[in-house]
Amino acid sequence: MLALGGCSLAPKYARPASPVPPAFPVVETAADAPVAPEVSWQEFFTDGRLRSVVEQALANNRDLRVATLNIERAQALYRIQRADRFPAVNAGATVSSQRVPDKATPTGEGYSSTEYTIALGVASWEIDFFGRIRSLEAAALEQYLSTEQTGRATQLALVAAVAETYLARAADADGLKLANSTLETQRASLTLIQKSRDLGVASNLELSQIQSQVEAARADVARYTAYVALDLNALQVLVGAPVGPDLLPDGLAAVNPPRPISAGLSSDVLLRRPDILAAEHQLRSANASIGAARAAYFPRITLTAGVGLESTELSSLLGAGTGLWSFAPQIVQPIFNAGATKAKVKVSMVDREIAVARYEKGIQQAFAEVSNALTLRQTLVSQREAQEALVTALDETYRLSDARYKAGIDGYLGVLVAQRALFVAQQGLVSVRFAEQANLVTLYKVLGGGV
């Protein structure tokens, strides 16, 4: 009986093979860069103000609060399921009174009676010979662990979302400063051209051209002003509270870049991602549920027992001769249920196959996310270097065009074209710098950074 009580009819669990290549694309990283799962977010983000904003988000975000409550709920459900392994002992006290009528007694005289009872008993405790309850307990435990990993995944996603929105706010602040600087320059040029036109040196065409550039610059200022406001709104929604101006960045240069990390050499690092771990716990839970379904083929043995005291007089309830006991074992063997038991086993096995497919799909998606982030990482460095060279060249072009105009060699149109091209290139450089830092945040998230 003891040996049967420890058995399980669940299949032996074996982790499915990873359906992805064994290694990621090779990308140059610092020799001493750690892999993401070994780096906490406090270590990854080196900017103190950004860390403070992330801390606020972890304390206030409603999605994370729901995830935490789901963990507590899953833990309580596991405790409920685990309690079925042990007998539930209940104590009770009853008083029952009855009146027997005259015609229901042999003597023709009715009577009244009262009974007092105190009892301690076990009601329908199942002896788990075939591991049904153990399998259900294992399934509940895996569900709890899956929920816990889902909570970690939610926290990691929140940390990354806050960081990306914070960096977007910094990039758009840079864009707004560029737009304002360009507008001031264009307005100064407009004043100069107006004076030149009044003196008969500049033409109305040149005046019209510079006015169009001023309006374009005004539109850029309005656009970036809206972007900055929208970024702040998005950041405060993620944080779940107002973000003070002292914590907001005024440009990308004011934000310390994240710490360099490595993807490692093996794609097995994906198995440490919280969402992949959650999927594997779901698979383990489905595997354990097969054992519970198979156990339904075998007898279920339950025990009901109790001890207590009973007397017709309350004063003598604790005296001698009032003891009572009961013992009622029961065994139930399924005989015919129109194939329901077989169907339940089939359902549990299909559920396991579904869990396997979801687990493998999760690994495939994770591999694709990491590969894309690594590939983009490699190209962003070259793109930033090229964009910096472009800005330098266009700045020189603008300087020379302005000098030729002031020397009376060329018209003002060349200055306007060069100035607009420089502005667009500077915007592009801000975008590339933002993409480079945001890519590092994305890489940290998709590699399952430590939380």
Same domain, 327 and 404: no
Same domain, 236 and 250: yes
Same domain, 189 and 233: yes
Q: For residue 130, what pLDDT is reported?
A: 86
Residues 91-105 pLDDT 10s: 888 888 888 887 777
Cβ–Cβ under 8 Å, residues 179 and 218 = no
Alpha-carbon gap, residue 157 to 413, rounded angstroms: 49
In a domain, 262, yes or no: yes
In a domain, 310, yes or no: yes
pLDDT of 7 strictly over 90? no
pLDDT of 324 strictly over 60? yes
Cβ–Cβ under 8 Å, residues 184 and 213 = no
At residue 281 the predicted structure's pLDDT band, cuts being 50, 70 and 90, is very high
Host domain of residue 403: 2-85+129-296+343-446
Same domain, 17 and 144: yes
Residues 351-383 pLDDT 10s: 999 999 999 999 999 999 999 998 898 899 899
Q: For residue 152, what pLDDT is reported?
A: 93
Same domain, 75 and 93: no
| Cα-based torsion angle of the residue sequence 64, 70, 75, 81 in order, rounded to the nearest 10 degrees | -170
Same domain, 173 and 238: yes
In a domain, 313, yes or no: yes
Mean pLDDT of the chain: 88
At residue 234 the predicted structure's pLDDT band, cuts being 50, 70 and 90, is very high
CATH code, domain with 320 = 2.20.200.10
Same domain, 248 and 279: yes
Same domain, 320 and 174: no
Same domain, 236 and 114: no
Same domain, 311 and 208: no
At residue 3 the predicted structure's pLDDT band, cuts being 50, 70 and 90, is very low
Same domain, 186 and 315: no
Q: Which residues have C-beta within 8 Å of that of residue 19, sequence separation ≥ 6?
A: 360, 363, 364
The token duo for 364 is: 């495939």
Same domain, 36 and 159: yes
Q: Which of 73-77, 170-174, 411-415, 441-445 has the lowest mean pLDDT?
A: 411-415
At residue 30 the predicted structure's pLDDT band, cuts being 50, 70 and 90, is low
Domain finish residue from 274, 308, 332 = 332
Q: For residue 203, what pLDDT is reported?
A: 74
Q: How many domains does the chain have?
A: 2
